[in-house]
């Protein structure tokens, strides 16, 4: 399964890439001919859809960007004259101040679909990715949510286990030979989901937020990007198994559930997309379409045995033991240890959504990320803690080189007017404006 990278900004603009920036080798500039071929593919996808899926054309401005050289090839001119015509495309360089990721961005007077170069070589992956990102560009115009929700419960033993049982039941539903078998498998999927919601108060709202954002986008990628029902079903089933390998489900689960629920809804209620505005979750819409009753939890253990012979639960137990040790080490490093703190004001950042590690009330650990704010750019290769409550980011100050503005696994490029000063705790440092009162 290819790695995915998200871009997060203000307002929240979430998107995906097929290769992690930190893992990217040095790449040549974007090939104009290759970009033009991608533009043609995107045009075919959006013309084939013709606005039928969402009542809005997916066609629009596209920007292909090399993440290292920051060279750009676009399918149209920009508003600020930064791009120059070269044949049927427009070329230039994306400023260092701009986020580089598969996302939707506003730059030089145009709202773009931004795509990372090189694009996936696999045809179906590329088509799904294109349609997914085309949808993200029009998402605000459709009034669709752009938030993620708090899904830390999906890194717990029971949260992960019940989610994977749900995935297995959804795959069975997509493969079912009859309508009755499909309905029974959907009932199982909803049983596992509702058990998760019983165990974790607030989980329904958190999962609904990410499914409304990335789940619906990935469904659009599968539905609009692929041209046949057979190909769509096969891709959705693949997603339900491929994401099992992700280090964390917290920010990635909806890429698996979105296409599955969406395609099942296409069969059960072709008008379901128009009902999303009501605020109902995809699973609620499917339950209503199939006239399913509230799940009976008395049969939970029996239904678990249908999808797990015990090996899945054993594997998750082993993972949870390792997770607890890892959480203790992260807490010692980023909560108990000396840190550099940076304010989260006017920020945008890139990260791999499959690797996020919730750290309880302390926040969420991002193993790798690029964080941009008024104070400059922070490049992280070895853990940053983001605390939305205190609106701060923290990296370890162990072995810090203040003059070089770097530490173990991170480096900081400060903007003019900002400085690093000692914090309140011994060994701590804080980034603040140069004329601010001492911390």
Same domain, 33 and 88: yes
Q: CA torsion, points 48, 54, 57, 58, in degrees to nearest 10?
A: -80
Q: Is residue 82 part of a domain?
A: yes
Q: Is residue 420 part of a domain?
A: yes
Same domain, 124 and 161: no
Contact 190, 173 (CB under 8 A): no
Same domain, 135 and 227: no
Same domain, 191 and 88: no
Q: Which of 104, 124, 142 is the last residue of a domain?
A: 142
Same domain, 137 and 270: no
Same domain, 10 and 81: yes
Residue 342, pLDDT above cutoff 80 = yes
Alpha-carbon distance of 161 to 156, in angstroms, equals 8
Same domain, 224 and 344: no
pLDDT, one tens digit per residue, over 124-145 is 999 999 999 999 999 999 987 6
Same domain, 356 and 213: no
Same domain, 134 and 156: no
Same domain, 161 and 293: yes
Q: Which of 142, 173, 196 is the last residue of a domain?
A: 142
Alpha-carbon distance of 69 to 67, in angstroms, equals 6
Q: Is residue 318 part of a domain?
A: no
Same domain, 174 and 138: no
Q: CA torsion, points 426, 428, 434, 439, in degrees to nearest 10?
A: -60
Q: Which of 142, 171, 187 is the last residue of a domain?
A: 142
pTM of this structure: 0.80
Same domain, 163 and 252: yes
Contact 100, 64 (CB under 8 A): no
Q: Is residue 321 part of a domain?
A: no
Q: CA torsion, points 46, 50, 56, 62, in degrees to nearest 10?
A: 20
Residues spanned by the domain of 294: 152-308
Q: Is residue 222 part of a domain?
A: yes
pLDDT, one tens digit per residue, over 81-133 is 999 999 999 999 999 888 888 999 999 999 999 999 999 999 999 999 999 99
Q: Is residue 331 part of a domain?
A: no
Domain count, the chain: 3
377 or 150, which is more confident: 377
């Amino acid at each position: 399964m290819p790695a995915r990278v998200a871009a997060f900004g203000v307002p929240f603009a979430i998107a995906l890439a097929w290769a992690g920036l930190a893992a990217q080798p040095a790449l040549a500039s974007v090939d104009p001919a290759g970009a033009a071929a991608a533009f043609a593919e995107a045009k075919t996808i959006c013309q084939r859809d013709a606005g039928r899926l969402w009542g809005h054309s997916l066609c629009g401005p596209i920007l292909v960007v090399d993440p290292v050289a920051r060279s750009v090839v676009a399918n149209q001119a920009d508003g600020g004259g930064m791009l120059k015509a070269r044949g049927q495309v427009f070329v230039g360089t994306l400023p260092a101040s701009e986020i580089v990721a598969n996302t939707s961005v506003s730059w030089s007077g145009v709202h773009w679909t931004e795509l990372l170069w090189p694009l996936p070589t696999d045809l179906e992956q590329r088509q799904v990715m294109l349609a997914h990102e085309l949808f993200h560009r029009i998402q605000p115009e459709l009034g669709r949510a752009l938030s993620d929700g708090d899904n830390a419960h999906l890194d717990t033993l029971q949260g992960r286990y019940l989610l994977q049982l749900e995935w297995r039941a959804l795959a069975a539903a997509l493969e079912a030979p009859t309508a009755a078998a499909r309905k029974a498998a959907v009932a199982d999927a909803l049983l596992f989901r509702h058990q998760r919601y019983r165990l974790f108060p607030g989980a329904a709202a958190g999962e609904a937020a990410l499914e409304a954002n990335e789940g619906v986008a990935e469904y659009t990628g599968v539905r609009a990007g692929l041209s046949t029902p057979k190909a769509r079903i096969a891709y959705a089933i693949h997603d339900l198994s491929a994401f099992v390998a992700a280090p964390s489900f917290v920010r990635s689960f909806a890429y698996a559930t979105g296409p599955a629920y969406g395609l099942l809804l296409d069969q059960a209620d072709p008008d379901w997309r128009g009902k999303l505005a009501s605020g109902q979750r995809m699973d609620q819409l499917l339950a209503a379409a199939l006239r399913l009753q509230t799940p009976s939890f008395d049969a939970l253990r029996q239904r678990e045995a249908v999808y797990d012979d015990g090996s899945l639960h054993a594997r998750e137990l082993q993972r949870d033991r390792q997770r607890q040790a890892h959480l203790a080490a992260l807490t010692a490093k980023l909560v108990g240890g000396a840190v550099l703190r940076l304010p989260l004001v006017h920020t945008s950042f890139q990260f791999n959504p499959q690797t996020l590690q919730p750290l309880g009330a302390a926040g969420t650990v991002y193993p790798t990320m690029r964080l941009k704010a008024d104070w400059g750019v922070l490049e992280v290769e070895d853990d940053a803690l983001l605390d939305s409550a205190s609106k701060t980011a923290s990296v370890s100050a162990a072995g810090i080189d203040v003059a070089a503005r770097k530490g173990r696994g991170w480096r900081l490029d400060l903007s003019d007017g900002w400085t690093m000063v000692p914090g309140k705790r011994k060994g701590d440092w804080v980034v603040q404006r140069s004329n601010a009162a001492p911390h």
